[in-house]
Amino acid sequence: MAHGIYPLDHYAQSREGLLYAADGWSAVRRWDGLTSDYEEAGVPAPENAPLFTAHFGPGFLTGSWTAYARYLDRYGNPGNPSPASLTVRVADISGTVEAISNATPVRVTSTGHGLVSGGRTDIPGTSLGSKIVIRWPDGTEETLYYDVISANTFDLYYDNALTSGVEPDDHRQPAGQWAQNASGFTYVLPTNGTGTSGNGTISSVSQHIIETDAPHGLSDMGRLGHSDGRVQITMTGPGSIDVVGTFYFQVQDTTHLRLFDDDALTSPANIVGVDEGTDIWSGYNWAEQAIPETVERVQILRTKSGSAAAAYVDQEGDRFQTFFESALDDGSLGESVVLIDPFTGDASYSQRFGLPPKDKPFLAAVGGRMLAAGDPVWTRGAVKVTEDSETVEGIGTDWEGDFEDRLLTVQGSDRAYRIASRSGQTLTLTEAYEGDSAPYASYAISPSYRSRRFLQWSEAGYAEAWYALAGVILPADHEGGAVTGLASFDAAGIVFAENRAFRFSFVLDPATDGSVVPAFDRGAINNRCHVRTESAIYALDHRGVYRTTGRNSDDVSETAQDVFAGKHSEFRIQWKWKESFHACFDPQNESILFFVSLTGGLPRHVLAYRLRSGDWEILEFPVPITCSAVARIGGRLRVIVGTEHGRVLVLDEGERDGATEGTLSGSVSSAGYDWLEDSSAAFSGCENAPVRIVEGQGAGQERLIVACDGTRLDLDTPWNITPDSTSRYVIGGITWRWKTGWYRWAVDDTEKPQAVALTYKPSEVASRLAMRLYADQSDEPKVMGVSRSNYGVTTEKGSADIVVNATKENGYAVHQTDRGKETRADGWRRVAVELVGTTNGDEHAIYQVDIIGAVS
């Protein structure tokens, strides 16, 4: 798809009924009919991981967990999970209460309990003290304090001062469990240049900084000397929470290190969240700098203990929530999110809820998924390139959208360059341009190699969740040309190229049972030139129009082939303007309408294919018709078209184009270079409507009205022949033309009448209706040799028009031609009749055309 005109929105609706617009250059947008404007489709991933928080106290929960955050939009669509949190590990230092005494304080027997009198002392600056939690046989839990009596026994108290002993009670019999967890921070220094490593104890932690209890011996310069320049934090020992992370560091002073996630020291590591001396996490802190407006909810996910394959929904809150309290054990977690492909072990599997692709302009909904295809190329304007410079300047390029990672190819250069960024009409390349400098060179900006001919699909049931690897490469096909469109039909995707179509189908999962095969050797001009009806798709390619059900094609334009092949005497498709062609199904007339350019410029003509008869007609509009669609208006499906000046028109509505009020027809009083005046008129609201001279001087000329005021009309282009007081005009009249095939005058030496008769519905108001005669395959109509007026027609010497009195009461007019000639005499032998008309507020209905004296 060469980009010659503009980034064009292509529309598709999802299974859920949301409207999507894609142009292949910027983010896919979504609209639900409720918001005032589009929203960017897809749910981004949070940049920051949630942080486990903990309360100060013992508990039974043990295990190893990692947490993630993810966003939900207001439809409940999720995005990708955030980066993983630090892994929290709570070691099991619980024990069994083997026996309990019947005295106060109760004495617990637990062989080899390992408790330290007065609480652990190996954690600098903090201690749990002698706190412990007991789970009794009836399920109740009590947080109590212990006093170590021996290696196998301890007494229980209610207070830390060990003055209020716990008394025996039925619910404390006969035994139970106890648990105590404590924590400590240590760090492991990176391997230094001599291959040795060190470690120490962390005495405190703030958000990004750790404090060591002894000089760490590191320096910033030393970082460069180490093999990996990283410091690892580990919380070790029984009864501790382990926070394992590997970070880059920046020395603050001899006992403080600032930690980062990246070697460039630009992303500070969030290591806060596990407070010293705590043991059981009780929730999550989570903060994000900028949350997209489309995000409605935030979910906190965490793994089950010891498993990294999946995360499960733990908590959910609104987009402003920064703390998520949780005490769920593994068995109580919610919906799962697979993080690692169970079949391949691929860890990128967690990224299945990525954003829709920005570089695919064509979308189609198939089988509960959205498909995306197309390889947009931008060639508009030229570029100024400078040797050894990374900067490229656009000249008349009108660049817009996201160009990052696309490839720039400049005429005369022997390689492509990857684009790092775009700012206005200036590109920055990832490396300097190596070719010769050029002040204005042709160029192309195209997708990266890996995404070309890549047909992508979204996750099942999620039109906005895209896994970057979920797709299939279309078969290489040089003759087929570039991908030009995408449609859905019969539960399959039809990918159109210029001269080929591919059928993509699947049953459950495209990744496992999907297949793409060349379907037929016809294509589509662009993504707006294939039209779906209930039973088939009709598409326009360079060879004409065909019908397909997705498996084969049937040409339907044989009778109009001259127009497509450029052999028609009058109408030839101007393929140069093919990007502006479009088509739609006209349900009212059961026709497929192809809006094409037959005279150059934007489409003003329609090639109309009548489905019932198989006939083709050519329609012409006074203004460019730039787009079309079918809309339900007044309970009926109607064709609507877009045109200049932000106007949307309805086809086959009323008897005038663009004008309904004020004076709409009359006689010219005076006229000038680009205006006319009717002193008896009251023009109003007829801007952008056509005005046509239907009688008198200048007849046949049509102009668009740019301004109307009282008695004067100002026009878009000057008159070729300035009208005068003999001229009559019609505003908004619908001009039409129809021509018969060729007929032969009967061969007869006797004099027989030769005439053309017209039977029609009389108009209520004067309007233009005329006949023209063509002789012997001529492209020009016969010019009348005499002026006369009878039988409802008027001819004027020198004019080709045989003007019909459209208001004649009996609706019958006849023009008599020359009498018959001898068989061998020279003269015209074949005849064709053309009818032309311009309505004036009511319709022209022609019932019959008789060419008297002719045979087919």
Partner 1 sequence: MRRQAGQLAFLSVSTGTASPDEAPQATVYSADGTAVVSDIKLPPLGDDNVFGRAWRVSIAAGDYLVRYLWEVSSVEKVRTEPLKVLPGGDAEGAYRNLTFYEPPHARFVVGQQESDKDTFRRNPRV
**Alpha-carbon gap, residue 358 to 510, rounded angstroms:** 21
Distances (CA, A) of 724 to 80, 455, 676, 696, 718: 72, 63, 9, 8, 14
Nearer to partner 1, 37 or 780 (CB): 37
Contact by Cβ (8 Å): 597, 604 = yes
Beta bridge pairs of residue 582 = 595
Does residue 361 have a cis bond before it (omega within 30 degrees)?
Answer: no
Contact by Cβ (8 Å): 110, 100 = no
Nearer to partner 1, 238 or 654 (CB): 654
**Please, what is the minimum distance in Å from the beta carbon of residue 653 to partner 1?**
5
At residue 644, what are phi and psi to the nearest 5 degrees?
-65, 165
Nearer to partner 1, 26 or 805 (CB): 26
**Please, what is the minimum distance in Å from the beta carbon of residue 595 to partner 1?**
12
Both tokens of 282, joined, read 């009780």
**Please, what is the minimum distance in Å from the beta carbon of residue 33 to partner 1?**
4
**Please, what is the minimum distance in Å from the beta carbon of residue 674 to partner 1?**
8
**Please, what is the minimum distance in Å from the beta carbon of residue 437 to partner 1?**
11
Strands 788-790 and 241-253: unpaired
Nearest to 341 by CA among 303, 308, 317: 308
Nearer to partner 1, 432 or 650 (CB): 650
**Please, what is the minimum distance in Å from the beta carbon of residue 722 to partner 1?**
17
Beta bridge pairs of residue 472 = 455
Both tokens of 120, joined, read 């652990």
Site for partner 1, rule CB under 8 A: 6, 8-11, 13, 17, 19, 21, 31-34, 36-38, 381-382, 384, 395-397, 400, 439-440, 442, 528, 582, 602, 624, 626-634, 638, 640-648, 650, 653-654, 674, 687-688, 706-707, 714, 716-717
Contact by Cβ (8 Å): 629, 620 = no
**Please, what is the minimum distance in Å from the beta carbon of residue 79 to partner 1?**
23
DSSP 57-103: S--S--EEE-EEEEEEETT--B----SPPPEEEE---EEEE-EE-SS
**Please, what is the minimum distance in Å from the beta carbon of residue 401 to partner 1?**
11
Nearer to partner 1, 136 or 443 (CB): 443
Nearer to partner 1, 672 or 696 (CB): 672
**Alpha-carbon gap, residue 146 to 155, rounded angstroms:** 5
Phi-psi region of 351 (alpha: psi -120 to 50; beta: other; left: phi over 0): alpha
Question: How many Cα atoms are found within 13 Å in the side-chain-facing hemisphere of 102?
Answer: 2
Nearer to partner 1, 508 or 648 (CB): 648
**Alpha-carbon gap, residue 311 to 324, rounded angstroms:** 16
Nearest to 182 by CA among 126, 135, 142: 126
Nearer to partner 1, 336 or 411 (CB): 411
Nearer to partner 1, 236 or 389 (CB): 389
Q: ∠411-413-415 over CA atoms, to 5°? A: 120
**Alpha-carbon gap, residue 804 to 794, rounded angstroms:** 7
**Torsion, Cα of 93, 99, 104, 105 (10° steps):** -20
Nearer to partner 1, 31 or 743 (CB): 31
**Alpha-carbon gap, residue 144 to 148, rounded angstroms:** 13
Nearer to partner 1, 432 or 648 (CB): 648
Contact by Cβ (8 Å): 544, 557 = yes
**Please, what is the minimum distance in Å from the beta carbon of residue 850 to partner 1?**
37
For residue 291, give every residue at least 6 positions away whose Cβ sits within 8 Å of its Cβ, in sequence order, or none: 71, 319
**Please, what is the minimum distance in Å from the beta carbon of residue 607 to partner 1?**
19
**Alpha-carbon gap, residue 190 to 232, rounded angstroms:** 7
**Please, what is the minimum distance in Å from the beta carbon of residue 19 to partner 1?**
5
**Please, what is the minimum distance in Å from the beta carbon of residue 382 to partner 1?**
4
Nearer to partner 1, 632 or 824 (CB): 632
**Please, what is the minimum distance in Å from the beta carbon of residue 612 to partner 1?**
24
Nearer to partner 1, 285 or 684 (CB): 684
Beta bridge pairs of residue 768 = 838
**Alpha-carbon gap, residue 319 to 301, rounded angstroms:** 15
